[in-house]
Amino acid sequence: MSATMVEGDHEGHGAHLEIPYSQQLRNNRLGLWLFCFSELFLFGGFLMARFYLWRDPATGAIVRPELDQLLGLGTTSVLLVSSLFMALGERAIEQGNRKRFLNSLLVTAALGIAFLVGVVGLEWNAELSPTDGAFGAVFFGMTGLHALHVLSGVILILIVWWNGRQGKFSPEQHWGVEATAIYWHYVDVVWVFFYPALYLIGQAVHV
């Protein structure tokens, strides 16, 4: 067990206060979950905008733009499988299985990139454009914001993978892995709500 040493005396008497690793871990977890909670307002705002703006002006019924359903299901599946490998990677480092941990992280990053290709590379180049009124603005706002989080998650995973190769994580101490896993799954949770909101709920209308 390691502990962080903190200067505990304002008058420079050299006294040190040790913060136990378990306490650091509790603080870290609380901080990360607060960050996730604060981001809910951002993503929640977009969800509210989607349900407020995507309505038939005549009847008030909820509508959605015509999107490629197979592409939507495909990208959702890719992100779901990436979450599986992230969880497997985290469990592997807990078990001390370094090879499985590193391989799982690489697969997760690759699937994250595949998701980005599906959304940004394919869906963004389909029929809908950002200038298509409320449909375009909300769709590109939601998918763009989410894609940015996926991209930052992929970068985080690759940093953790690199540090893992250097042997910086152990079954006893791997907060970096846990934090990255929480962030990655959080990005997945956001898509769990975005996917039906964008692709499934409401009557499809041609833009």
Partner 1 sequence: MNETTTSPYRQIYVVFIALVVLTILEFIVAAYLPSVVFLTLIALAKAGLIVHFFMHIYRLWNNEESH
List contacts with partner 1 (CB under 8 A): 1, 22, 25-26, 29-30, 33, 62, 73, 76-77, 80, 83-84, 86-88, 91, 94-95, 170-175, 178, 181-182, 185-186, 188-189, 192-193, 195-196, 199-203
Question: Closer to partner 1 at the Cβ: 52 or 130?
Answer: 52
Q: Which residues make Cβ contacts (< 8 Å) with residue 62, sequence separation at least 6?
A: 51, 54, 55, 56, 201, 202, 203
Residue 105 beta carbon to partner 1: minimum distance, rounded to whole angstroms: 15
Residue 61 beta carbon to partner 1: minimum distance, rounded to whole angstroms: 11
Residue of 202, 29, 54 lying closest to 139 (CA atoms): 54
Residue 193 beta carbon to partner 1: minimum distance, rounded to whole angstroms: 5
Q: How far apart are CA 180 and CA 182, in angstroms?
A: 5
Residue 127 beta carbon to partner 1: minimum distance, rounded to whole angstroms: 20
Question: Closer to partner 1 at the Cβ: 189 or 207?
Answer: 189
Question: Closer to partner 1 at the Cβ: 22 or 129?
Answer: 22
Query: In whole angstroms, how far apart are CA 74 and each of 78, 115, 166?
Result: 6, 9, 34
Q: What burial class does residue 69 get, using C-beta atoms within 10 Å of its C-beta: 0-12 exposed, 13-18 middle, 19+ buried? A: exposed
Question: Closer to partner 1 at the Cβ: 14 or 167?
Answer: 167
